[in-house]
Structure 1
């Protein structure tokens, strides 16, 4: 069972992030935070040679729906999408919201997570 979704792109990291931000807007998601994890590791003296950025993304309407149903679902929010370099290639990936939401054991939340997952995958595909 795969817990995530990953694609490869010919774009560099900055271009991939920029394309992803635009694609997310089309699905009514916004980037709350763009964290340069590789830069932070290097700042802390770690030898991390490749780029690795974590984008926390949110759609306020969807967040309100799931939090109104079960506040513990907030443990999974905001959604994360990662853009990273591996073997000279740029990759864009995320954990599957449907996999995470299974822990809540609520069919209504599963439906919301499936919709969010499809929209995030569409955004990732459109960004590559």
Structure 2
């Protein structure tokens, strides 16, 4: 499977706050937060569900990846989405290993697997505080 998703009963905003705290524990920071619902409404589209995209980065890991293979930059920064679905809040991400697998680089796969495990841990901590 190319993605990972956890569920929580917390609100989207509370889940984002918990996620930001959890990410800091793994030296990841939120570079950018994009509220898809607000942007679509601004453009005249009716989208009622809360849906927020976070771009996250750990500078040390980004440096390792780019120095290993410059093409890996196509997949940076990592994205995590927090949204409403089926009466719950979901926190999910595309798996870094799924992206890095396209480059067929064993060293990158090792880094991606480590980053993926750490981000999944952050998501799980945010979903189950």
TM-score, normalising length: structure 2 = 0.97
Show the counterpart of 1:101: 100
1:69 Cα offset (Å): 1.2
Whether 1:59 and 2:27 are equivalent positions in the alignment is no
Cα distance in 1 between the residues matched to 2:54 and 2:100: 19
- Where do residues 10-89 of structure 1 align in structure 2 (5 Å cutoff)? 10-89=9-88
Cα distance in 1 between the residues matched to 2:86 and 2:43: 23
Cα distance in 2 between the residues matched to 1:69 and 1:86: 37
How large is the RMSD of aligned CA atoms in angstroms?
A: 0.5
TM-score, normalising length: structure 1 = 0.98
Whether 1:3 and 2:2 are equivalent positions in the alignment is yes
Q: Which runs of 5+ in 1 are unaligned?
A: none
1:38 Cα offset (Å): 1.1
